[in-house]
Structure 1
């Protein structure tokens, strides 16, 4: 997808992540390993070609939504991605969990539970009038003691976006999709312009750079559910930052390396990195550059096998790479091997 650029002072994301990786001081890309990882991914795809459709489609935790009407699906996904930010806890503190899940999947579980309990959490008529106590109950933890981080901020954001939907889009995000002509680029533009929580923009090298991770993740989920939705894949479309532990996968695969100072800071310092700090920009930029290059290499490799496996002509490259990285994440989580690698946290509403 070509990210929404409205003027000459906005740098294309593909150009920006390349510049960031070339000038980074604390995060380094191991370019030699990019082709190695891409080849491993291609071998895995060819070996498991019978499962191609599973790898080639967005894997989300809310498949149960298929039983609902379109307006509920659109609103539900909008609430999920709007609230998906800063779900980490400080070291040494007890983790917020719902049905044994934490982070993004804990958020999914809490919203699914609310839906099953008959609470229309997707409806802006409902959540714009919600009290902090009501939202805290929806996000109640398994142990009844820990709480979802930034509860008041999440409620304020929900009320803000809900009022926009009510006043401008007939109370449904489906109207945003329709007014975008079911086109990904137009929907990205609408999200950026209408909802500040999706306005993920930084200043770099004198220009504005739009990462738009939250918006891309929402748009990709919308594409999954709505057959008429057009998803372009001309630019970086990875939803990797939906779970920051993917960074540990990139470190373990030696695709990225942190300086000793940054690694030590991530390991020993309990304070989050500042949003838009040099270190935070380098981590995001270098990670997206690595994934962009893996996608480019995997796309190139696929051309050699299309005659052997014609199904590869339908390759959704960004989705396949994201799915394979998430598969590595879950394997690493089970065997605890990722715990040896630094994990940073940032206080932000954008991811």
Structure 2
């Protein structure tokens, strides 16, 4: 019998990288469309720009490493990294920040460690953290959701703002941008305002930031679809969101005028996106069943600590990177028992 390959294994894998990444991209579409609905054309422009930069950087690094370009570019891993980065940045982020962030993610966080399968940190989050630390002003210029915005940016106006840094006549950045719900909450709590007064603002909806509730709901639906398709397992999302809800719920019960409710933390910022699409990365995260639970719980707890007492209102990216460092240790101590072996007995 003639096999397709000369050496074992002769069975082809049930799921290729391309197939897995395609399903991840499908699951990202509903949340991305919701973000574009509430925040305008900038979301889609950022996605296209980030994906283009990611593919270009991937091809250049493959050529520099003398590796075949087509098999790795078409596995869509760079597309997913660029897409996730684009969802993390403000809609009118200058093009050069996207270039720096995505380039850093692909070149440094991915290929300098050996490429796909060898990166110890999630590339998209490395790129995001690099630019959020380096350019804090530009990374906090979020547009208000469409339901609260005084004007809607057309596609030409969006392109002009992103690539030329020019706004329509009579407008300034301070007039059209503001803080995210998490930023606003953190800032106003530091001014000794009560939580009930803060959430009475029109920027907040029934449980979280206006618009963000729907965006995260659509990311949740996409994440559940990934679990149903067995692209990811339930362990990390349940552990991360469960630990985030538990610790935020405890502090909320202690003092509801200072600490936000669990629903606010779950449906604000990148908690759901991180739980289903980023922390579940099989390369940079834990791989054992018990390890995934520990990994996810660690991300949830660290994200809350950073949100509540850290210098950055959104702590998901930092929490994931910190737990990426712990993943090898977690896997070492949570290896399941090998079938047929029993623990060694102590002599004497």
TM-score tier by shorter-chain length is under 0.3
Q: TM-score, normalised by structure 1?
A: 0.25
For normalisation by structure 2, the TM-score amounts to 0.25
Larger of the two Rg values belongs to structure: 2
